[in-house]
């Protein structure tokens, strides 16, 4: 999107990094040839790519239309904000998952639908409902007014989807302040996990989740340290947008 500065440059840098990583990995291990797999064609014939833009447009016109009638319809509930059924058969008024609602707005925008005024409603502005304004949270969470600390996935991904939405509608509501607030909050959390530069030390993400309100880990029998990659993406995106070096350093710490 044209709202991101130097996107092509950073993509090129990313490509170089990926190429370097691939080259280093090639020195360690080679792909094992499996005879049966080698018999499979790389491109099946005949092959027809599904028109995914058509699918996305159709999905948007289905799930966001509150006037549809029929079994399990409508799939959306609208008042001052909105909610979508997480699966067909579930009451939309009872399901307000950010990981379902915000990406639906993003995907529609990617195929040319203006979500600021569709069916007489501003779906983009309504997405702010998932930003928890409590100073102890200050990030996007999966439920309006929810709390962090149950599962990494549900705490970090709503912020990824918000960053995508922000890149398309940067002037909406309080998006600009929220963009920076989210980055600051995850940077603070990263430091609380042990990340630092003097001396250089990486964060301990071997937890089930991280409670932002108490800055303490949640350990429920499994760990999801791959969340570090998501935090790195958020912080690097903040660096690209603002030029603030602390976000770039935070991204490096999270990647390690």
Structure tokens at 178: 């929220």
- Tell me which DSSP letter residue 131 carries: B
Q: Which of 26-40, 41-55, 79-93, 236-250 comes out lowest in average pLDDT?
A: 26-40
* Residue 157: predicted pLDDT: 98
Distances (CA, A) of 54 to 9, 66, 113, 227: 31, 20, 12, 32
The structural domains of the chain, with segments of one domain joined by +, span 49-129, 131-256
* Residue 28: predicted pLDDT: 65
Task: For residue 65, give the 3-state DSSP assignment.
Answer: coil
* Residue 232: predicted pLDDT: 98
For the chain, strand residue ranges (E) read: 76-78, 82-84, 196-197, 200-201, 209-211, 216-218
* Residue 31: predicted pLDDT: 86
Give the pLDDT confidence of 186-222 residue by residue, as tens digits.
Answer: 999 999 999 999 999 999 999 999 999 999 999 999 9
Give the pLDDT confidence of 134-192 residue by residue, as tens digits.
Answer: 999 999 999 999 999 999 999 999 999 999 999 999 999 999 999 999 999 999 999 99
Task: For residue 243, give the 3-state DSSP assignment.
Answer: coil
What contacts 201, CB < 8 A, 6 or more positions away? 194, 195
Euclidean distance between CA atoms 17 and 251, whole angstroms: 15
Q: Which of 169, 140, 120 is nearest to 234 (CA)?
A: 140
Euclidean distance between CA atoms 227 and 225, whole angstroms: 5
pLDDT-derived band of residue 23, with 50, 70 and 90 as boundaries?
low
User: Within 13 A of 237's CA, how many CA atoms are on the CB side?
Assistant: 22
Task: For residue 121, give the 3-state DSSP assignment.
Answer: strand
Average pLDDT, stretch 121-131? 98
What contacts 229, CB < 8 A, 6 or more positions away? 254, 255
Q: Look up tokens 């950010």; give the residue.
A: 98
pLDDT-derived band of residue 29, with 50, 70 and 90 as boundaries?
confident
Average pLDDT, the chain: 90
Q: Is 59 exposed, middle or buried (CB count within 10 Å of its CB: 0-12, 13-18, 19+)?
A: middle
pLDDT-derived band of residue 71, with 50, 70 and 90 as boundaries?
very high
């Amino acid at each position: 999107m044209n709202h991101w500065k130097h996107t092509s440059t950073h993509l090129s840098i990313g490509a170089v990094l990926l190429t370097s990583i691939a080259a280093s990995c090639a020195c360690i291990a080679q792909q094992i040839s499996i005879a049966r797999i080698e018999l499979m064609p790389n491109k099946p014939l005949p092959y027809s790519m599904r028109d995914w833009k058509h699918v996305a447009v159709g999905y948007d016109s289905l799930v966001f239309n509150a006037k549809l009638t029929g079994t399990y319809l409508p799939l959306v509930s609208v008042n001052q904000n909105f909610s979508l059924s997480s699966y067909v058969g579930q009451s939309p008024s009872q399901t307000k998952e950010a990981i379902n609602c915000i990406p639906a707005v993003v995907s529609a925008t990617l195929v040319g639908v203006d979500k600021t005024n569709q069916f007489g409603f501003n779906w983009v502005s309504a997405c702010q409902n998932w930003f928890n304004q409590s100073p102890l949270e200050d990030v996007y969470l999966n439920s309006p007014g929810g709390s962090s600390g149950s599962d990494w996935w549900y705490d970090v991904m709503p912020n990824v989807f918000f960053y995508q939405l922000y890149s398309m509608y940067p002037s909406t509501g309080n998006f600009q302040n929220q963009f920076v607030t989210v980055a600051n909050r995850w940077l603070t959390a990263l430091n609380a996990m042990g990340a630092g530069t003097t001396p250089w030390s990486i964060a301990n993400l071997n937890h089930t989740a991280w409670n932002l309100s108490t800055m303490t880990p949640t350990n429920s029998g499994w760990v999801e340290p791959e969340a570090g990659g998501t935090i790195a993406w958020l912080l690097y995106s903040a660096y690209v947008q603002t030029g603030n070096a602390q976000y770039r350093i935070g991204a490096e710490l999270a990647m390690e």
